[in-house]
Amino acid sequence: MKVLITGGAGYIGSHCNRYFVSKGVETVVLDDLSDGHEEAVVVGRFVKGDFGDKDLLAQLMKEEKFDAVIHFAAFADVADSVARPSRYYNNNVTKMLTLMDAIVEHGIKYVVFSSSAATFGEPQYIPIDENHPQNPINPYGMTKLIGEKILQDYEKAYGIRYCAFRYFNAAGDSRDSLIGEAHNPEHHIIPLIIRAAQGKTKQLKIFGIDYPTRDGSCLRDYVHVDDLADAHYKGLLYIMKHNCSEDFNLGSDNGFTVLELVHKFEEVTGKKVPYEIAERRQGDPASLVASNKKAIELLKWELKNSDIMRILQDAWNWEQNKRY
């Protein structure tokens, strides 16, 4: 089997690329390196380019004869999407249409899509299952919801089969610290906690302490990136075997507040984390926790790495040994 991985030099994409190759899949990574790192592509073929480049897509798809496309490439900063929505609609929606048209033109039948818990908006109940209403409260979440709608329409019109994964909070890094999380600027909570502990930033900013949670800080569900990679592999095999389309929520079915995460990190590492309380950020729901029952039942997905202490230890090890 051969797959094209868009955004495969990014955080989640690079872990999936490595995992797919470990399962005997031939991979080609397409990434423009706007937020990815060529050093993260430790296996497979790497092509530097834009997933919205129609000519490049045609060339690659003609040359390589892909069985499936794993589509990660996207801008993914909630706050930035509020400030610059046009950037997100152009990249995450317009370019996705170009990609999907190329997929149809070249007879590729299977797509695995990186969606997001941000499609749900403010939860009406916890944990959030696949039937929960989708009402995004920020442009990033809306672009991911539109991406899901595109897939639904392309299935009806062209017979594309897809698997859409709504991640909650991807976290952790490879156990051997060969690849890991590296954003510039960094906007994910665990790397920000680590930078504050290392003294690279003065203090961790905790945005809001008046949410309806256990301690007033936002509550999130953290799932190890290696477990996400396993879900993508199993999801692709599932839709190929059953010739169907499915969507899945991927999380640990458990949540931690930001303050709890800080204390867990201090427990794991023995390092103190200086922090300050700041104003709420626009577009941040109070709580996001996934129901992962569907993925466990249909995909036989197992959470082998998503214990919060394991996540924090892997992240701490990576930050001390970063290659990029």
Which one of 140, 167, 211, 233 is the catalytic residue?
A: 140
CA 28, CA 98: separation in Å to the nearest integer?
A: 18
Which residues, including other chains, have CB under 8 Å from residue 49's CB and lie 6 or more apart? 30, 31, 32, 56
Cis peptide before 127 (omega within 30 of 0): yes
CA 301, CA 227: separation in Å to the nearest integer?
A: 8
Determine the 3-state secondary structure of 134 from DSSP: coil
CA 149, CA 165: separation in Å to the nearest integer?
A: 13
CA 285, CA 280: separation in Å to the nearest integer?
A: 10
| DSSP sequence for 229-286 | HHHHHHHHHHHHHHT--EEEEES-S--EEHHHHHHHHHHHH-----EEEEPPPTT--S
CA 319, CA 197: separation in Å to the nearest integer?
A: 11
Residue corresponding to tokens 């990576």: 318
Token digits for 253? 């079915």
**Pairing mode, if any, of strands 110-116 and 68-71?**
parallel
Contact predicate 228/167, CB 8 Å: yes
CA 75, CA 189: separation in Å to the nearest integer?
A: 17
Token digits for 221? 């569900």
125 as an active site residue: the answer is no
How far does CA 128 lie from the centroid of its chain?
17
Closest by Cα among 274, 110, 70 to 192: 274
Contact predicate 280/233, CB 8 Å: no
> What are the angstrom distances between the C-alpha of 188 and each of 160, 176, 195?
33, 21, 11
H or E segment at 206? strand 204-207
Residues belonging to the active site? 140
